[in-house]
Structure 1
Protein backbone atom coordinates (compact mmCIF):
# COMPACT_ATOMS: atom_id res chain seq x y z
CA UNK A 1 0.00 0.00 0.00
CA UNK A 2 1.52 3.34 -1.09
CA UNK A 3 1.49 6.57 0.94
CA UNK A 4 -1.55 8.08 -0.81
CA UNK A 5 -3.62 4.93 -0.33
CA UNK A 6 -2.59 4.76 3.33
CA UNK A 7 -3.62 8.40 3.85
CA UNK A 8 -6.90 7.82 1.99
CA UNK A 9 -7.76 4.78 4.12
CA UNK A 10 -6.79 6.59 7.32
CA UNK A 11 -8.97 9.64 6.49
CA UNK A 12 -11.97 7.55 5.40
CA UNK A 13 -11.86 5.45 8.58
CA UNK A 14 -11.08 8.16 11.12
CA UNK A 15 -12.33 11.38 9.50
CA UNK A 16 -11.10 14.71 10.83
CA UNK A 17 -9.14 13.05 13.64
CA UNK A 18 -6.88 11.56 10.97
CA UNK A 19 -6.39 14.99 9.37
CA UNK A 20 -5.35 16.38 12.76
CA UNK A 21 -2.92 13.52 13.43
CA UNK A 22 -1.32 13.58 9.96
CA UNK A 23 -0.76 17.35 9.98
CA UNK A 24 0.50 17.33 13.58
CA UNK A 25 3.06 14.63 12.74
CA UNK A 26 4.18 16.43 9.59
CA UNK A 27 4.75 19.69 11.47
CA UNK A 28 6.49 17.80 14.26
CA UNK A 29 9.16 16.88 11.66
CA UNK A 30 8.00 13.30 11.14
CA UNK A 31 8.97 12.46 7.53
CA UNK A 32 5.53 12.87 5.96
CA UNK A 33 5.87 15.17 2.91
CA UNK A 34 3.29 17.97 3.16
CA UNK A 35 3.41 18.31 -0.64
CA UNK A 36 1.71 14.88 -0.72
CA UNK A 37 -0.27 14.87 2.53
CA UNK A 38 -2.01 18.27 2.36
CA UNK A 39 -3.27 18.17 -1.26
CA UNK A 40 -4.51 14.62 -0.72
CA UNK A 41 -6.33 15.69 2.44
CA UNK A 42 -8.00 18.38 0.31
CA UNK A 43 -8.99 15.83 -2.36
CA UNK A 44 -10.50 13.40 0.15
CA UNK A 45 -12.18 16.24 2.05
CA UNK A 46 -13.92 17.49 -1.10
CA UNK A 47 -15.02 13.98 -2.10
CA UNK A 48 -16.58 13.40 1.32
CA UNK A 49 -18.24 16.80 1.66
CA UNK A 50 -15.98 18.23 4.36
CA UNK A 51 -15.77 22.04 4.37
CA UNK A 52 -12.50 23.54 3.11
CA UNK A 53 -12.43 25.98 6.04
CA UNK A 54 -13.05 23.19 8.53
CA UNK A 55 -10.08 21.29 7.13
CA UNK A 56 -7.95 24.45 7.16
CA UNK A 57 -8.78 25.32 10.78
CA UNK A 58 -8.07 21.78 11.98
CA UNK A 59 -4.83 21.70 10.00
CA UNK A 60 -3.81 25.07 11.50
CA UNK A 61 -4.38 23.87 15.07
CA UNK A 62 -2.55 20.61 14.36
CA UNK A 63 0.30 22.43 12.59
CA UNK A 64 0.74 24.84 15.48
CA UNK A 65 0.71 22.04 18.04
CA UNK A 66 3.27 20.05 16.04
CA UNK A 67 5.43 23.16 15.67
CA UNK A 68 5.23 23.94 19.39
CA UNK A 69 6.22 20.36 20.28
CA UNK A 70 9.26 20.60 17.99
CA UNK A 71 10.06 24.09 19.31
CA UNK A 72 9.93 22.75 22.88
CA UNK A 73 12.32 19.90 22.00
CA UNK A 74 14.80 22.40 20.57
CA UNK A 75 14.33 24.73 23.55
CA UNK A 76 14.94 21.98 26.12
CA UNK A 77 17.76 20.02 24.45
CA UNK A 78 19.47 22.88 22.61
CA UNK A 79 22.34 22.23 20.19
CA UNK A 80 22.45 18.56 21.16
CA UNK A 81 19.30 17.85 19.15
CA UNK A 82 20.67 19.64 16.06
CA UNK A 83 23.93 17.70 16.37
CA UNK A 84 21.97 14.45 16.68
CA UNK A 85 19.83 15.19 13.60
CA UNK A 86 22.90 16.28 11.62
CA UNK A 87 24.79 13.11 12.52
CA UNK A 88 21.79 10.85 11.93
CA UNK A 89 20.93 12.47 8.59
CA UNK A 90 24.17 13.95 7.15
CA UNK A 91 22.39 15.45 4.13
CA UNK A 92 20.51 17.81 6.44
CA UNK A 93 23.64 19.44 7.90
CA UNK A 94 23.97 22.27 5.39
CA UNK A 95 20.28 23.11 5.62
CA UNK A 96 20.42 23.07 9.43
CA UNK A 97 23.54 25.26 9.57
CA UNK A 98 22.13 27.77 7.09
CA UNK A 99 18.74 27.88 8.85
CA UNK A 100 20.42 28.25 12.23
CA UNK A 101 22.49 31.27 11.19
CA UNK A 102 19.50 32.76 9.39
CA UNK A 103 17.05 32.53 12.30
CA UNK A 104 19.68 33.52 14.86
CA UNK A 105 20.20 36.77 12.97
CA UNK A 106 16.70 37.51 11.61
CA UNK A 107 14.43 35.45 13.89
CA UNK A 108 10.95 36.82 13.11
CA UNK A 109 11.39 37.28 9.38
CA UNK A 110 13.16 33.93 9.06
CA UNK A 111 10.33 32.12 10.85
CA UNK A 112 7.70 33.48 8.48
CA UNK A 113 9.66 33.00 5.24
CA UNK A 114 10.86 29.52 6.21
CA UNK A 115 7.26 28.39 6.69
CA UNK A 116 6.75 28.88 2.96
CA UNK A 117 9.93 27.17 1.73
CA UNK A 118 9.67 23.35 1.43
CA UNK A 119 13.13 22.37 2.79
CA UNK A 120 13.63 25.13 5.35
CA UNK A 121 10.22 24.64 6.99
CA UNK A 122 11.30 21.18 8.18
CA UNK A 123 13.83 22.58 10.66
CA UNK A 124 12.51 26.04 11.53
CA UNK A 125 10.58 25.10 14.70
CA UNK A 126 13.47 23.06 16.07
CA UNK A 127 16.00 25.82 15.42
CA UNK A 128 13.67 28.51 16.82
CA UNK A 129 13.63 26.53 20.07
CA UNK A 130 17.40 26.05 20.08
CA UNK A 131 18.07 29.80 19.74
CA UNK A 132 15.46 30.48 22.46
CA UNK A 133 13.23 32.61 20.25
CA UNK A 134 10.41 34.16 22.29
CA UNK A 135 7.27 31.96 22.16
CA UNK A 136 4.74 34.68 21.24
CA UNK A 137 6.51 35.92 18.07
CA UNK A 138 7.27 32.31 17.13
CA UNK A 139 3.60 31.33 17.39
CA UNK A 140 2.38 34.50 15.67
CA UNK A 141 4.68 34.24 12.65
CA UNK A 142 4.23 30.48 12.47
CA UNK A 143 0.45 30.93 12.40
CA UNK A 144 0.63 33.27 9.41
CA UNK A 145 3.02 30.99 7.54
CA UNK A 146 1.04 27.83 8.32
CA UNK A 147 -2.24 29.40 7.17
CA UNK A 148 -0.70 30.45 3.85
CA UNK A 149 1.10 27.13 3.22
CA UNK A 150 -1.83 24.92 4.26
CA UNK A 151 -4.35 27.03 2.31
CA UNK A 152 -2.33 26.64 -0.88
CA UNK A 153 -1.70 22.90 -0.61
CA UNK A 154 -5.10 21.87 0.76
CA UNK A 155 -6.78 24.22 -1.72
CA UNK A 156 -4.97 22.59 -4.65
CA UNK A 157 -6.39 19.21 -3.72
CA UNK A 158 -9.80 20.50 -2.69
CA UNK A 159 -10.52 22.63 -5.76
CA UNK A 160 -8.54 20.82 -8.47
CA UNK A 161 -9.47 17.31 -7.42
CA UNK A 162 -7.44 14.25 -8.31
CA UNK A 163 -5.46 16.06 -11.03
CA UNK A 164 -2.03 15.16 -9.68
CA UNK A 165 -0.13 16.25 -12.80
CA UNK A 166 -1.55 19.78 -12.60
CA UNK A 167 -1.01 19.94 -8.83
CA UNK A 168 2.64 18.86 -9.23
CA UNK A 169 3.18 21.48 -11.95
CA UNK A 170 1.73 24.24 -9.76
CA UNK A 171 3.79 23.12 -6.75
CA UNK A 172 6.96 23.08 -8.84
CA UNK A 173 6.34 26.62 -10.08
CA UNK A 174 5.38 27.74 -6.57
CA UNK A 175 8.64 26.35 -5.20
CA UNK A 176 10.64 28.21 -7.84
CA UNK A 177 8.84 31.51 -7.17
CA UNK A 178 9.04 31.27 -3.37
CA UNK A 179 12.63 30.04 -3.50
CA UNK A 180 13.55 32.98 -5.73
CA UNK A 181 11.73 35.39 -3.41
CA UNK A 182 13.50 33.95 -0.36
CA UNK A 183 16.88 34.32 -2.08
CA UNK A 184 16.03 37.94 -2.97
CA UNK A 185 15.08 38.71 0.65
CA UNK A 186 18.31 37.10 1.88
CA UNK A 187 20.38 39.18 -0.55
CA UNK A 188 18.66 42.40 0.55
CA UNK A 189 19.14 41.61 4.24
CA UNK A 190 22.76 40.60 3.71
CA UNK A 191 23.49 43.86 1.88
CA UNK A 192 21.76 45.88 4.61
CA UNK A 193 23.61 44.04 7.36
CA UNK A 194 26.93 43.31 5.67
CA UNK A 195 28.96 44.97 8.43
CA UNK A 196 27.34 42.78 11.08
CA UNK A 197 27.86 39.68 8.95
CA UNK A 198 31.55 40.50 8.47
CA UNK A 199 31.90 40.68 12.26
CA UNK A 200 29.92 37.44 12.64
CA UNK A 201 32.21 35.42 10.37
CA UNK A 202 35.53 36.84 11.63
Structure 2
Protein backbone atom coordinates (compact mmCIF):
# COMPACT_ATOMS: atom_id res chain seq x y z
CA UNK A 1 0.00 0.00 0.00
CA UNK A 2 2.79 2.41 0.95
CA UNK A 3 4.59 1.57 -2.29
CA UNK A 4 1.43 2.26 -4.29
CA UNK A 5 0.91 5.64 -2.59
CA UNK A 6 4.55 6.54 -3.19
CA UNK A 7 4.27 5.60 -6.87
CA UNK A 8 1.16 7.74 -7.26
CA UNK A 9 2.88 10.68 -5.57
CA UNK A 10 5.93 10.37 -7.81
CA UNK A 11 4.30 9.55 -11.14
CA UNK A 12 0.96 11.35 -10.86
CA UNK A 13 1.71 14.62 -9.11
CA UNK A 14 -1.34 16.29 -10.65
CA UNK A 15 -3.54 13.85 -8.74
CA UNK A 16 -1.68 14.72 -5.53
CA UNK A 17 -2.32 18.44 -6.01
CA UNK A 18 -5.96 17.76 -6.91
CA UNK A 19 -6.50 15.60 -3.82
CA UNK A 20 -4.87 18.21 -1.59
CA UNK A 21 -6.93 20.99 -3.18
CA UNK A 22 -10.23 19.18 -2.59
CA UNK A 23 -9.45 18.11 0.98
CA UNK A 24 -8.13 21.56 1.91
CA UNK A 25 -11.56 23.02 1.17
CA UNK A 26 -12.94 20.96 4.06
CA UNK A 27 -9.96 20.48 6.39
CA UNK A 28 -7.38 23.13 5.63
CA UNK A 29 -5.04 23.19 8.68
CA UNK A 30 -4.36 19.44 8.88
CA UNK A 31 -3.84 19.13 5.14
CA UNK A 32 -1.52 22.14 5.13
CA UNK A 33 0.75 20.52 7.73
CA UNK A 34 0.66 17.28 5.75
CA UNK A 35 1.56 19.23 2.61
CA UNK A 36 4.62 20.61 4.37
CA UNK A 37 5.73 17.06 5.15
CA UNK A 38 5.39 15.81 1.57
CA UNK A 39 7.08 19.00 0.35
CA UNK A 40 10.12 18.08 2.42
CA UNK A 41 9.98 14.52 1.07
CA UNK A 42 10.12 15.92 -2.46
CA UNK A 43 6.71 14.72 -3.68
CA UNK A 44 5.50 18.26 -4.47
CA UNK A 45 7.03 21.61 -5.44
CA UNK A 46 7.01 24.71 -3.24
CA UNK A 47 5.08 27.25 -5.33
CA UNK A 48 2.40 24.83 -6.61
CA UNK A 49 1.70 23.36 -3.16
CA UNK A 50 1.55 26.79 -1.49
CA UNK A 51 -0.88 27.98 -4.15
CA UNK A 52 -2.93 24.79 -3.85
CA UNK A 53 -3.50 24.98 -0.09
CA UNK A 54 -4.17 28.73 -0.14
CA UNK A 55 -6.67 28.54 -3.00
CA UNK A 56 -8.36 25.44 -1.55
CA UNK A 57 -8.86 27.05 1.84
CA UNK A 58 -10.09 30.29 0.28
CA UNK A 59 -12.65 28.36 -1.77
CA UNK A 60 -14.00 27.00 1.51
CA UNK A 61 -14.23 30.56 2.87
CA UNK A 62 -16.08 31.70 -0.24
CA UNK A 63 -18.58 28.86 0.09
CA UNK A 64 -19.46 29.94 3.65
CA UNK A 65 -19.75 33.56 2.52
CA UNK A 66 -22.09 32.64 -0.33
CA UNK A 67 -24.26 30.51 1.96
CA UNK A 68 -24.61 33.38 4.41
CA UNK A 69 -25.13 36.03 1.73
CA UNK A 70 -27.69 34.20 -0.40
CA UNK A 71 -29.46 31.82 1.99
CA UNK A 72 -29.03 33.47 5.39
CA UNK A 73 -30.95 32.23 8.41
CA UNK A 74 -32.96 29.81 6.25
CA UNK A 75 -29.79 27.74 5.84
CA UNK A 76 -29.22 27.79 9.61
CA UNK A 77 -32.76 26.59 10.30
CA UNK A 78 -32.47 23.74 7.83
CA UNK A 79 -28.84 22.64 8.02
CA UNK A 80 -27.26 24.53 10.91
CA UNK A 81 -27.16 21.53 13.23
CA UNK A 82 -24.84 19.74 10.81
CA UNK A 83 -22.29 22.58 10.77
CA UNK A 84 -22.43 23.87 14.35
CA UNK A 85 -24.36 26.95 13.25
CA UNK A 86 -26.76 28.26 15.89
CA UNK A 87 -29.11 31.19 15.28
CA UNK A 88 -28.73 32.43 18.85
CA UNK A 89 -24.94 32.42 18.60
CA UNK A 90 -25.07 34.18 15.25
CA UNK A 91 -27.26 36.98 16.62
CA UNK A 92 -24.99 37.55 19.62
CA UNK A 93 -21.76 37.32 17.67
CA UNK A 94 -23.14 39.70 15.04
CA UNK A 95 -23.20 42.57 17.57
CA UNK A 96 -19.45 42.28 18.11
CA UNK A 97 -18.75 41.32 14.50
CA UNK A 98 -20.35 44.46 13.09
CA UNK A 99 -18.02 46.61 15.20
CA UNK A 100 -14.78 44.81 14.40
CA UNK A 101 -15.57 42.69 11.34
CA UNK A 102 -12.19 42.80 9.60
CA UNK A 103 -10.16 42.25 12.77
CA UNK A 104 -12.40 39.30 13.66
CA UNK A 105 -12.11 37.83 10.17
CA UNK A 106 -8.33 38.10 10.24
CA UNK A 107 -8.10 36.73 13.78
CA UNK A 108 -10.41 33.87 12.89
CA UNK A 109 -8.23 32.94 9.94
CA UNK A 110 -5.05 32.99 12.05
CA UNK A 111 -6.56 30.81 14.79
CA UNK A 112 -8.82 28.58 12.66
CA UNK A 113 -11.70 30.36 14.36
CA UNK A 114 -11.17 28.57 17.68
CA UNK A 115 -13.91 26.25 16.49
CA UNK A 116 -16.17 29.11 15.32
CA UNK A 117 -14.78 29.67 11.84
CA UNK A 118 -17.96 28.57 10.00
CA UNK A 119 -20.07 30.91 12.15
CA UNK A 120 -17.80 33.89 11.50
CA UNK A 121 -17.44 33.24 7.76
CA UNK A 122 -21.18 32.62 7.40
CA UNK A 123 -21.90 35.79 9.36
CA UNK A 124 -19.70 37.81 7.01
CA UNK A 125 -21.96 36.83 4.13
CA UNK A 126 -25.11 37.29 6.19
CA UNK A 127 -23.96 40.78 7.21
CA UNK A 128 -23.32 41.67 3.55
CA UNK A 129 -19.64 42.44 4.10
CA UNK A 130 -18.36 43.64 0.70
CA UNK A 131 -16.97 40.56 -1.01
CA UNK A 132 -13.77 42.26 -2.18
CA UNK A 133 -12.85 43.34 1.36
CA UNK A 134 -13.87 39.95 2.73
CA UNK A 135 -11.72 38.15 0.19
CA UNK A 136 -8.67 40.40 0.64
CA UNK A 137 -8.82 40.12 4.44
CA UNK A 138 -9.04 36.35 4.26
CA UNK A 139 -6.31 36.23 1.62
CA UNK A 140 -3.86 38.09 3.87
CA UNK A 141 -4.68 35.83 6.81
CA UNK A 142 -4.56 32.71 4.66
CA UNK A 143 -1.12 33.47 3.25
CA UNK A 144 0.26 33.91 6.77
CA UNK A 145 -1.55 30.89 8.24
CA UNK A 146 -0.76 28.53 5.37
CA UNK A 147 2.89 29.56 5.49
CA UNK A 148 3.03 28.77 9.21
CA UNK A 149 1.35 25.38 8.79
CA UNK A 150 3.41 24.35 5.77
CA UNK A 151 6.59 25.39 7.57
CA UNK A 152 5.54 23.38 10.61
CA UNK A 153 5.13 20.22 8.54
CA UNK A 154 8.30 20.89 6.55
CA UNK A 155 10.59 21.49 9.54
CA UNK A 156 9.08 18.65 11.58
CA UNK A 157 9.83 16.29 8.70
CA UNK A 158 13.33 17.77 8.35
CA UNK A 159 14.06 17.45 12.07
CA UNK A 160 12.72 13.90 12.14
CA UNK A 161 15.04 12.97 9.28
CA UNK A 162 18.12 14.32 11.07
CA UNK A 163 17.64 12.15 14.17
CA UNK A 164 19.91 9.14 14.33
CA UNK A 165 18.19 6.67 16.61
CA UNK A 166 14.74 5.37 17.41
CA UNK A 167 14.63 6.88 20.91
CA UNK A 168 15.20 10.38 19.57
CA UNK A 169 12.49 9.93 16.95
CA UNK A 170 10.02 8.58 19.51
CA UNK A 171 10.85 11.50 21.81
CA UNK A 172 10.22 14.00 19.01
CA UNK A 173 6.90 12.41 18.06
CA UNK A 174 5.84 12.22 21.73
CA UNK A 175 6.73 15.86 22.32
CA UNK A 176 4.81 16.89 19.21
CA UNK A 177 1.73 14.90 20.23
CA UNK A 178 1.78 16.41 23.73
CA UNK A 179 2.17 19.91 22.29
CA UNK A 180 -0.77 19.32 19.94
CA UNK A 181 -2.92 18.00 22.79
CA UNK A 182 -2.14 21.08 24.89
CA UNK A 183 -2.90 23.35 21.94
CA UNK A 184 -6.22 21.61 21.29
CA UNK A 185 -7.13 21.85 24.97
CA UNK A 186 -6.29 25.54 25.01
CA UNK A 187 -8.39 26.21 21.92
CA UNK A 188 -11.23 24.09 23.31
CA UNK A 189 -11.19 26.06 26.57
CA UNK A 190 -11.31 29.33 24.65
CA UNK A 191 -14.19 28.03 22.57
CA UNK A 192 -16.05 26.91 25.70
CA UNK A 193 -15.52 30.32 27.28
CA UNK A 194 -16.98 31.95 24.19
CA UNK A 195 -19.87 29.48 24.26
CA UNK A 196 -20.57 30.40 27.89
CA UNK A 197 -20.50 34.08 26.96
CA UNK A 198 -22.98 33.51 24.15
CA UNK A 199 -25.48 31.63 26.31
Place the TM-score, normalised by the shorter chain, in its bin: 0.5 to 0.7
Say whether 1:20 aligns with 2:5: no
Deviations 1:58-80 (CA, angstroms, capped at 9, x unpaired): 21122222211221111100112
Aligned pairs, number? 166
> Please, which of 72, 75, 95 is the counterpart of residue 69 of structure 2?
75
What is the match of residue 108 of structure 1? 102
> Please, which of 36, 48, 52 is the counterpart of residue 58 of structure 1?
52
Say whether 1:158 aligns with 2:159: no
Larger radius of gyration: 2
Partner Cα distance (1:171, 1:160) in 2: 16
Say whether 1:146 aligns with 2:142: yes
SS at 2:128 equivalent:
coil
SS at 2:67 equivalent:
helix
* Between 40-49 and 133-142, the greater mean CA deviation after superposition: 40-49
* Between 141-150 and 101-110, the greater mean CA deviation after superposition: 101-110
Alignment of 1:27-46 (within 5 A): 32=27, 34-46=28-40
Q: Is the 8 A contact 2:85 2:118 kept in 1?
A: no
Change (3 A) 1:149 1:67: same
Partner Cα distance (1:175, 1:138) in 2: 29
Partner Cα distance (2:139, 2:38) in 1: 24
Deviations 1:83-141 (CA, angstroms, capped at 9, x unpaired): 3344446x653765554443233211111111122312233222211111111110111
When normalised by structure 2's length, the TM-score is 0.66
Partner Cα distance (1:40, 1:142) in 2: 21
Structure 1: unaligned runs, 5 residues or longer: 27-31, 184-202
Partner Cα distance (1:76, 1:95) in 2: 19
Shift of 1:81: 1.8
